[in-house]
Amino acid sequence: MYKYLTAILALLGTTTAHCELHQLDTAVEAYLKAQRTGQITGFTSIFDNYTWLGYFENSVKLPIHNNTLAKSLPISHTRTIRDLTLCSTYTEVVVNSTKDPYVIGTQLRFGNHRINRVDSIVTRPGDWLFNITGFAYWTAQENWDTIAVEKRDSRTTIRRAADAYLDLFNNPNTTVPWGTPCVRLEGGLYGDPGPNGTCAVGVPQGVPLTNRRYVIDETVGSVQVLLDFGQSKWPDSHHFRIESGKIRYVHTLTHCGVPNCGLSNGTDGASKK
Ligand SMILES: *[C@@H]1O[C@H](CO)[C@@H](O)[C@H](O)[C@H]1NC(C)=O
Ligand SMILES: *[C@@H]1O[C@H](CO)[C@@H](O)[C@H](O)[C@H]1NC(C)=O
Ligand SMILES: *[C@@H]1O[C@H](CO)[C@@H](O)[C@H](O)[C@H]1NC(C)=O
Ligand SMILES: *[C@@H]1O[C@H](CO)[C@@H](O)[C@H](O)[C@H]1NC(C)=O
Ligand SMILES: *[C@@H]1O[C@H](CO)[C@@H](O)[C@H](O)[C@H]1NC(C)=O
Ligand SMILES: *[C@@H]1O[C@H](CO)[C@@H](O)[C@H](O)[C@H]1NC(C)=O
Ligand SMILES: *[C@@H]1O[C@H](CO)[C@@H](O)[C@H](O)[C@H]1NC(C)=O
């Protein structure tokens, strides 16, 4: 009965969720420590096992003790955003290794102030445009710093900008608030046509981007969306930096299970995602 009530309260709580930064930060620290060491006990000790929804890796639910998190990885870069309204976090994780590189994007979600869902996109060589040298270098060059309070966009503005970009893949009439400049880091391919360029270079059509799960952080103008990419429902992350309502950066991670998603590697420009 207690378990049942707690679950109901947690569900009700999602509409009026309130959480505290230190709880989110503690959870992210525990997550990163687990990934660095391959020891997950400290991380699982802050799970809410009453409302636990699972550990997902590339949209597959896996046992908590047998997955990428249970493997010690030499993390070289992280960037985290924190959503106090949805009680969730997103962390970009880079393992800049020549032998065994990874780029991972992980959402943590909370119930009862504890973690109750882990959702990761884990990309490796062979995934969409994967290039660890490119990803590690370019993400470190960018400015995703805190935005001054008076210049911050609202959650609605931030989310609308991301949704417009994502909607464009299935509706060419969508008006997207492109920034100038705007640059995309797709897998490891940067800034086509250049780091000071535009993102308005066209996207394929007839590609629905569905099952969107958001993390929004107004303090850094960022929104990250986990989604199912296209008819094949490839597990995908789109991570945006929005400045004054306009798109400044887009990072994409896509896992397809077949080399480069069965497409050419993007050098011809025709198959751009
Ligand atoms: C939740 O369950 C895991 C085992 O799956 C355990 O390691 C962890 O300590 C539990 N967390 C709490 C807070 O009881
Ligand atoms: C871990 O998962 C892999 C496949 O994902 C499976 O082959 C292996 O048997 C699992 N190991 C354990 C100990 O469950
Ligand atoms: C990977 O990215 C780096 C840095 O942008 C670039 O110099 C290199 O040519 C890329 N490698 C491939 C195979 O595209
Ligand atoms: C990534 O690793 C390569 C090879 O060790 C190194 O040359 C490069 O400087 C590293 N990139 C970053 C951003 O640290
Ligand atoms: C886009 O606009 C054109 C011209 O107004 C219209 O014919 C078309 O149906 C619209 N497409 C969608 C997907 O709304
Ligand atoms: C992009 O713009 C910055 C700042 O104006 C400049 O320092 C840099 O050289 C430019 N990069 C390219 C590749 O044009
Ligand atoms: C990927 O790009 C290289 C050139 O960088 C090209 O030689 C190769 O054929 C491409 N692979 C595919 C599958 O298109």
Residue 271 has a pLDDT of 40
Sign of CA dihedral 144, 58, 109, 72: negative
Rounded alpha-carbon distances, angstroms, from residue 151 to 147, 178, 191, 244, 267: 7, 18, 25, 7, 37
Dist. CA 269 → ligand 2 center (Å) = 38
Q: 115-136 pLDDT, tens per residue?
A: 999 999 999 999 999 999 999 9
What residue's CA is closest to ligand 5, atom 2? 173
What residue's CA is closest to ligand 7, atom 13? 264
Nearest ligand 7 atom to alpha carbon 264: 14
Nearest ligand 4 atom to alpha carbon 136: 13
Residue 182 has a pLDDT of 96
Average pLDDT of the segment spanning 36-54: 96
Indicate whether residue 188 lines ligand 3 (CB < 6 A): yes
Q: Of 22-26, 235-239, 269-273, which gets the smallest average pLDDT? A: 269-273
What residue's CA is closest to ligand 3, atom 3? 134
> Contact, 140 vs 134, CB < 8 A?
no
Q: 184-221 pLDDT, tens per residue?
A: 999 999 987 778 889 998 888 999 999 999 999 999 99
Indicate whether residue 207 lines ligand 1 (CB < 6 A): no
pTM here is 0.88
| Structural domains of the chain ordered from first start | 2-123 (3.10.450.50), 132-262 (3.10.450.50)
Dist. CA 148 → ligand 4 center (Å) = 31
